[in-house]
């Protein structure tokens, strides 16, 4: 099996059914595989930034990851802003770039973007992604691909980059590796003891009576809308969402406050910033500037802050949390 078919087959096995690209000589070997791999539709963009932005949107809408292909050098540099946006928002996007043949690297070849050249793609993207690798041997393609996907889907999530030379793309490789565990896509394990403590506090006679929930995009990533609705209804707690999480709690539900923070509703703002609110339960949000009304201290002053997230590093990062409910590491 050629590496190009190997790569497209592996992406298909992960549930990717659309790939976004700008064709060019350095990814020519991949183009026939895109059109010949059943169930995978290539979408040609007018500019590499557009391809990367579309891959980002695909990741957010599908719950899987997005993938974009471009030539190295100018193609990769054109993607930089879109890749930065994906990194900022924790969106899993796999960037595949083509490079000149390994035997031509470092010899002044056209669009040579190998290490040590003026445009070293792997190094240039490294600050913008969670993983940036160059495949140097055909038999290592599966290893590098799995490492890129595993790192990209780990917590915290972000884009990953894989540079593949044209001669590697033409080479013969083994069959694609088995798909990653589904838990990589929907991380929703939590510390059961911490969650039990939360339920005990909510149901106890001495616990806070005026409580609100702020739900972030992590609720969607973990497919936890049903659990959120159950929790809210069981204890009659109103729910606001961040802008990125708009819709994770039904806005027609009687307990819905709508969006809080940037472009939020007056109703959500009034409830979450009300001085009489005794406890705020934050689920799946890193409490960034947009989601906190510019870190309004009224969200944290004189109230209990309970923070639940699969990424333990965000708990207590913005404000100290009286109670944290971290996620568990998921192994593949």
| pLDDT tens, residue by residue, 245-263 | 899 999 999 999 999 988 8
Of 122, 154, 182, the domain-final residue = 182
Residue 81 shares a structural domain with residue 154: yes
Proportion of the chain above pLDDT 70, given as a percent? 81
Residue 36 shares a structural domain with residue 123: yes
**166: containing domain:** 3-182
Residue 164 shares a structural domain with residue 201: no
257: domain CATH number is 3.40.50.1220
CA dist 240 and 255 (Å) reads 9
Residue 65 has pLDDT above 90, yes or no: yes
Of 151, 182, 213, the domain-final residue = 182
Residue 109 has pLDDT above 60, yes or no: yes
Whether 332 maps to a domain, the answer reads no
CA dist 232 and 237 (Å) reads 5
Per the CB < 8 A criterion, the answer to whether 192 and 184 are in contact is: no
Query: Is 104 in a helix, a strand, or coil?
Result: helix
Q: Which residue has the tokens 């992960």?
A: 14
Alpha carbon 185 to chain centroid, angstroms: 9
Residue 73 shares a structural domain with residue 144: yes
Residue 310 has pLDDT above 80, yes or no: no
Whether 331 maps to a domain, the answer reads no
- Report the Cα–Cα distance between both ends of the chain, in Å, rounded: 25
Per the CB < 8 A criterion, the answer to whether 277 and 303 are in contact is: yes
127: domain CATH number is 3.40.50.970
Residue 10 shares a structural domain with residue 143: yes
Residue 122 shares a structural domain with residue 27: yes
Query: Is 165 in a helix, a strand, or coil?
Result: strand
Of 123, 153, 182, the domain-final residue = 182
Kindly report the pTM of this predicted structure.
Answer: 0.72
Which of 12-26, 192-206, 214-228, 301-315 shows the lowest per-residue confidence on average (mean pLDDT)? 192-206
The total of structural domains in the chain comes to: 2
Residue 156 shares a structural domain with residue 23: yes
Whether 19 maps to a domain, the answer reads yes
Residue 267 shares a structural domain with residue 285: yes
Whether 187 maps to a domain, the answer reads no
In the prediction, which pLDDT does 331 show? 30
Higher local confidence (pLDDT), 310 or 75: 75
Whether 142 maps to a domain, the answer reads yes
Whether 29 maps to a domain, the answer reads yes
Phi, psi of 43 (to 5 degrees): -115, 120
Per-residue pLDDT of 171-187, as tens digits, reads 998 766 666 655 555 55
Residue 133 shares a structural domain with residue 207: no
Per the CB < 8 A criterion, the answer to whether 163 and 100 are in contact is: no
In the prediction, which pLDDT does 330 show? 31
Mean pLDDT of the chain: 83
Residue 101 shares a structural domain with residue 231: no
Mean predicted confidence (pLDDT) in 134-139: 90
Residue 41 shares a structural domain with residue 164: yes
Residue 208 shares a structural domain with residue 154: no
Residue 325 has pLDDT above 60, yes or no: no
In the prediction, which pLDDT does 191 show? 46
Per-residue pLDDT of 16-58, as tens digits, reads 999 999 999 899 989 988 888 888 999 999 999 999 999 999 9
- Confidence grade of residue 271 (pLDDT, cut at 50, 70, 90): very high
Residue 163 has pLDDT above 60, yes or no: yes
Higher local confidence (pLDDT), 207 or 141: 141
């Amino acid at each position: 099996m050629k590496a190009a078919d190997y790569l497209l087959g592996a992406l298909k096995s992960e549930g990717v059914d659309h790939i976004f690209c700008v064709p060019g000589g350095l990814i020519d070997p991949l183009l026939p595989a895109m059109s010949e791999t059943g169930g995978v539709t290539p979408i040609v963009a007018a500019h590499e930034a557009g391809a990367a932005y579309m891959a980002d949107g695909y990741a957010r809408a599908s719950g899987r990851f997005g993938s974009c292909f471009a030539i190295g050098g100018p193609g990769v540099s054109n993607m930089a802003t879109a890749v930065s946006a994906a990194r900022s928002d924790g969106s899993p996007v796999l960037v595949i770039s083509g490079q000149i043949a390994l035997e031509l690297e470092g010899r002044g070849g056209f669009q040579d973007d190998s290490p040590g050249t003026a445009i070293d793609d792997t190094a240039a993207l490294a600050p913008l992604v969670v993983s940036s690798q160059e495949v140097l041997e055909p038999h290592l393609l599966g290893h590098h691909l799995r490492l890129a996907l595993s790192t990209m889907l780990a917590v915290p999530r972000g884009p990953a980059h894989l540079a593949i030379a044209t001669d590697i793309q033409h080479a013969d490789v083994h069959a694609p590796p088995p798909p990653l565990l589904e838990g990589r896509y929907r991380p929703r394990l939590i510390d059961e003891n911490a969650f039990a403590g939360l339920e005990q506090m909510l149901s106890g006679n001495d616990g806070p009576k005026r409580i609100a929930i702020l739900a972030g995009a992590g609720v969607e990533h973990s497919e936890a809308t049903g659990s959120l609705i159950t929790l809210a209804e069981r204890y009659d707690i109103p729910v606001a969402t961040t802008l990125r999480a708009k819709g994770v709690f039904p806005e027609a539900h009687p307990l819905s406050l709508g969006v809080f923070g940037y472009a939020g509703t007056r109703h959500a703002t009034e409830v979450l910033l009300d001085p009489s609110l005794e406890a705020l339960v934050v689920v799946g949000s890193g409490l960034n500037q947009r989601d906190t009304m510019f870190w309004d201290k009224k969200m944290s002053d004189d109230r209990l802050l309970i923070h639940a997230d699969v990424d333990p590093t965000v708990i207590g990062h913005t404000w100290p949390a009286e109670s944290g409910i971290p996620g568990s590491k998921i192994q593949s």
